[in-house]
Amino acid sequence: MKAAVIVFPGSNCDRDLAVALRAAGIETEMVWHKDTSLPEGTDLVGVPGGFSYGDYLRCGAIAATSPVIRAVHDHAQRGGYVIGICNGFQILTETGMLPGALLRNAGLKYICRTVPLRVATAESVYTTGYASGDTINIPIAHHDGNYIADPDTLSRLADEDRIAFTYADNPNGSVHDIAGVLSENRRVLGMMPHPERAADAAHGGTDGRRLFAHLADALESA
């Protein structure tokens, strides 16, 4: 099992994500955004949270043009696994690897707190450690987490069971309370909350630990 965590100028959750992956038993390598390839044997790509390029222009817009993104896109096209968290989710929507967009929070303020999430589907390698309908507590830290998509896309996401997580108490105005979505092949996940910040009891909670533990199991058996 091998993961690559992409590092952009302004990433600030890359180390946290790497620590959570390694704690789950996944060999993890940091990859600079100017690299043009992923390490040989990469199973999973992590696109971390933070403020890539200072959120200039639009969150994730500049990072989406980084040289390494072509390799990430090709990895996803080959059926590889990709997880984008917070700014990583924004980047994945900017690249078109996931549908929709993330707008300014409805309250126009940065939000940083732990929120209750509902697991909307257990049918993915990322959510198989939970039961559909479970409520878990995961931190958020974003200014532009208001998920939006056109009505056809929203219907397709619902019909295809591709909504991974929803907010139990919507903090940012996201349509249908959406906190995370899956790609058509269910191997790319984007989510605004930070499971890597809820993977160690010493840091306040472990509800995110199961995501990484069961992801490791899925990669090992793939």
Tens-place pLDDT, residues 140-179: 999 999 999 999 999 999 999 999 999 999 999 999 999 9
User: Token digits for 56?
Assistant: 């200039």
Catalytic residue among 33, 94, 196, 214, which? Answer: 196
User: Token digits for 121?
Assistant: 């589907």
86 is a catalytic site residue = yes
| Helix intervals (H) in the chain | 14-23, 68-77, 87-95, 151-159, 209-221
Distance CA 58, CA 185 (A): 27
Q: Which of 39, 137, 46 is nearest to 85 (CA)?
A: 46
Strands 101-103 and 27-32 come out as unpaired
Catalytic residue among 33, 75, 142, 194, which? Answer: 194
Report the sign of the C-alpha dihedral through residues 199, 44, 38, 77, in that order.
negative
For range 81-108, the mean pLDDT: 97
196 is a catalytic site residue = yes
Distance CA 210, CA 153 (A): 29
pLDDT at position 167 is: 98
DSSP state for residue 167 in the 8-state scheme: E
DSSP state for residue 67 in the 8-state scheme: T
DSSP state for residue 98 in the 8-state scheme: S
CA 97 to the chain's CA centroid:
12
184 is a catalytic site residue = no
Q: For the chain, what percent of residues have pLDDT higher than 70?
A: 100
Catalytic residue among 86, 94, 142, 214, which? Answer: 86
| Digit-coded pLDDT (tens) for 32-86 | 999 999 999 999 999 999 999 999 889 999 999 999 999 999 999 999 999 999 9
